[in-house]
Amino acid sequence: MKRIPLGITLLTCAATYPAFAADSNDARIELGPRPAYLISMMDESPLKDALQACASMEPVRTDFSIAHRGAPLMFPEHTEQANRAGALMGAGIMECDVAFTADKELVCRHAQNDLHTTTNILATDLGAKCTTPFSPAMGDEKAQVECRTSDITLAEYHSLNGKMDAGNADATTVEDYMNATAAFRTDLYATKGTLLSHKDSIELFKSLGAKFTPELKSPSVEMPFDGFTQEDYAQKLINEYKDAGIPASDVFAQSFDLDDVLYWIKAEPDFGANAVYLVEPIDGFDPQDESTWDQDFASLKAAGVNNLAPSMNMLVVAEGDDIVASNYAKAAKEAGLDLITWSLERSGPLANGGGWYFQSVTDAVNTDGDYFEILDALAQDAGVKGVFSDWPATVTYYASCMGLN
């Protein structure tokens, strides 16, 4: 079979090759034009030369490339379509952020209370069931709305369509509220977003040849919820992998709540060994100043935590024009913790500063090509073993070129 060049567009790949719709562990990986575009934007450097030399390579699926909610730079997050796109771009690990419904079924949503921004619930009769039904902006008052997965049943959840995550707080109508996609994203692929339960995601990711990284999201409701405790919630997540026959070695359960991670380590040690403790910077955090850190790395390791997942702005910093590992990253590695980080291509063009995720390296970036400079610092200097991205093709290209697993 003639190899399709890396530069061909994702749209063309989807139209001419069945990998996007097929369930196959051996589906061809297609990276589209974005990696080549980003490389062309880079300043001249040995890294740019190395990446350009890989232009004719056959990309490989790698655990270093982790799909963050699928591929939400262009597809509605946590939908079947977003995840198929992420797998097509070579992500070796796929994410389902886990929330629960009124009937205590697990579903893939970034937050229990985001249905009003990530689905079409406000345009359906189910909008009346929301914790806070939509009320329009009036004068200085912003629009008010909150729709939780726990407001509806699993069957009702499955009746919804996913959309690009956005809401217009100044809207006076539901239509205007829903029509708020960020300028650096697109609605081109948001005409149909098939929502997934957690069980659906397990079957889909398995069929796509990917591993699993579910994140147990903090409930918006008071726990216990109708007798459903936090430990019940954490255990149900693991049980759905066990019931599906997924080996613990392929599951990287995540939580920002250390108690969840410690529960898995104690109650499900095989799964707990791979559990991921997510952290983000607290007020006053300085990645170079240990006195501002909120983690005791040695204590975490002693408690059985093996994987720490800080945001990227905790792991790399600018030193002049260079991007290097932070003292925080070095100390975590010295304590024996493996590092995973989030999320590349998440918050807009680097030419505009890149937003929150890149605040520690703003002084060293000026073009979108610097995504590869950041990736290189994360991989080679900070030593991370995986990077979440909203467009996995970029990380897959880098990992394939550098021979990362």
Strand ranges (E), 57-90: 62-67
**DSSP helix/strand/coil, 14:** helix
Range scoring the smallest mean pLDDT among 4-18, 78-92, 222-236, 355-369? 4-18
Q: How far apart are CA 118 and CA 136, in angstroms?
A: 18
Q: What is the mean pLDDT of residues 176-188?
A: 96
Considering only CA atoms, give the Rg of the chain: 21
Looking at the chain, the whole-number percentage of residues with pLDDT higher than 70 is 94
Over residues 302-313, the pLDDT tens digits come to 999 999 999 999
Q: How confident is the model at residue 137 (pLDDT cuts 50, 70, 90)?
A: very high
pLDDT for 110 beyond 80: yes
Tally DSSP H helices, then E strands, for the chain: 16, 13
The residue extents of the domains of the chain are 10-101+195-402, 112-178
Per-residue confidence (pLDDT) for residue 324, from 0 to 100: 98
Q: How far apart are CA 157 and CA 78, in angstroms?
A: 13
Pick from 272, 250, 248, 249: which is nearest to 261 by CA? 272
Homologous superfamily of the 10-101+195-402 domain (CATH): Phosphatidylinositol (PI) phosphodiesterase (3.20.20.190)
Q: How confident is the model at residue 235 (pLDDT cuts 50, 70, 90)?
A: very high
pLDDT for 13 beyond 90: no
pLDDT for 20 beyond 90: no
How far from 104 is each of 57, 62, 76, 84, 118, CA to CA, in Å?
46, 34, 24, 26, 20
Per-residue confidence (pLDDT) for residue 15, from 0 to 100: 34
Per-residue confidence (pLDDT) for residue 17, from 0 to 100: 37
Per-residue confidence (pLDDT) for residue 23, from 0 to 100: 56
pLDDT for 24 beyond 60: no
| Exposed e or buried b per residue across 276-305, where buried means at least 16 C-beta atoms within 10 angstroms of its C-beta | bbbbebeeebbbeeeeebebebeebeeeeb
pLDDT for 11 beyond 70: no
Over residues 353-403, the pLDDT tens digits come to 889 999 999 999 999 999 999 999 999 999 999 999 999 999 999 999 999
